[in-house]
Structure 1
């Protein structure tokens, strides 16, 4: 079996020292860090619903620039524009990452044999990043397009999307995939670029973060489902007491 059988053509170019390979690595790492940090902020923003509808409402108004509005209500266009920017970053990240994706069945089989023979933890982490990346290729754009076409956010409107529009099905699949992919990705970037030599400690931190982020994500999702279940159609946007 030759190297060409095991690796995609783009990887062969990288081995040969193609100048684009180094640039693509830097772009992949930079966009990965950006998306990973965004995920950390995003999940904590969403989890503010655990503190109540008022807390989530106030967070939304702050993020959407409510302090610049005479009424104190944020501008949904901010969410739309930010979602478009995130989509562009996701597309760029996926474009440079796909060059390392096994494109043939034989390459997947070779990877599985390699993992079975060599019990290397980083190889297993890379495999799961490939699997979750494949899942996100289909699920992430759906979520982002939803936020672009319907940027209205609020306790009632978000609960309507999750419960009445059955978006919880998408989020239930998206949540573990994006968390696992992001945390493994940040771990691999830190190791790749020499930010730390303590791989064992960093792997433990990544596992803790995966459990933590999935936990707050699940609790948040359940909260939206419970809230949506108690709302009847048509849904009226949440208005805080005293407004």
Structure 2
């Protein structure tokens, strides 16, 4: 015969803190999923510049709500609103993810020793995800704030920002950091939430996507640099 015992809450820790931890975990995962999927779409949208100025111009107008206007021209307000939304998602993700960052030197030393002694591949991937996340904490808000304060996009205006405003210095560092962080994050989410348990296959897919997206982003960035170098100030918006 089994006897039931009721354990007092004081022996179970702090229920409120456990509840917050669970909520924070869901918020971190959902916000990370939104950011990761957005990055996949964003880099492919940007890469339309490789098809020519007019292709990028048409896509930019569609994304800015041009289908709602008789002229087909979009509104920069759409870019501003969406950038503010993505900044909010980023803040939520950063706040909920920071609780997992080592906060003391001893924790960093323990993590380093763990990676050296255990030699566990997923632990090393998590370490690089943490490093790139720290870099993104400074670089991504800079990019989003720029899109909020200066939301004009187009073949010439975007190229002006990249070349004349020297934003290529930011993007050349931001691109690999955000791609590595996002793809490793999606890999970990797929394992965590049971999308697939084929760890080796998912890891290979993440690495392939990292290489592909970095090359795609660098090609797009090069195209903007070439266009921007040929522009004279003040820059005239592109009109096909």
If the length of structure 1 is used for normalisation, what is the TM-score?
0.91
Q: Please state if 1:141 is matched with 2:136.
A: no
2:126 aligned residue:
126
Is the partner of 1:232 in helix, strand or coil? coil
1:233 aligned residue:
233
RMSD: 1.3
Q: Which has the larger Rg?
A: 2
Distance 2:215 2:155 in 1: 20
Q: Deviations over 1:187-210 (max 9, x none)?
A: 001111111110000000000000
Is the partner of 2:71 in helix, strand or coil? coil
What pairs up with 1:53-202 in 2 under 5 angstroms? 53-202=53-202
Q: Which runs of 4+ in 1 moved over 4 A?
A: none
Distance 1:41 1:129 in 2: 20
Q: How many angstroms does 1:134 deviate by? A: 0.4
Is the partner of 2:102 in helix, strand or coil? coil
Distance 2:223 2:46 in 1: 10
Distance 1:26 1:57 in 2: 37
Distance 2:147 2:172 in 1: 17
Q: How many angstroms does 1:67 deviate by? A: 1.6
Distance 1:227 1:117 in 2: 49
Distance 1:39 1:238 in 2: 25
Q: How many angstroms does 1:81 deviate by? A: 0.2
Distance 1:149 1:17 in 2: 38
Q: How many angstroms does 1:70 deviate by? A: 2.4
Runs of 5+ in structure 2 lacking a partner?
Answer: 1-12
If the length of structure 2 is used for normalisation, what is the TM-score?
0.92
Is the partner of 2:99 in helix, strand or coil? helix
Is the partner of 1:133 in helix, strand or coil? helix
Q: Deviations over 1:49-104 (max 9, x none)?
A: 00000000000011011121222111110000000000000000000000001111
1:212 aligned residue:
212
Distance 1:217 1:200 in 2: 26
Distance 1:40 1:22 in 2: 27
Runs of 5+ in structure 1 lacking a partner?
Answer: 1-12
Structure 1, 219-228 or 186-195: larger mean CA deviation: 186-195
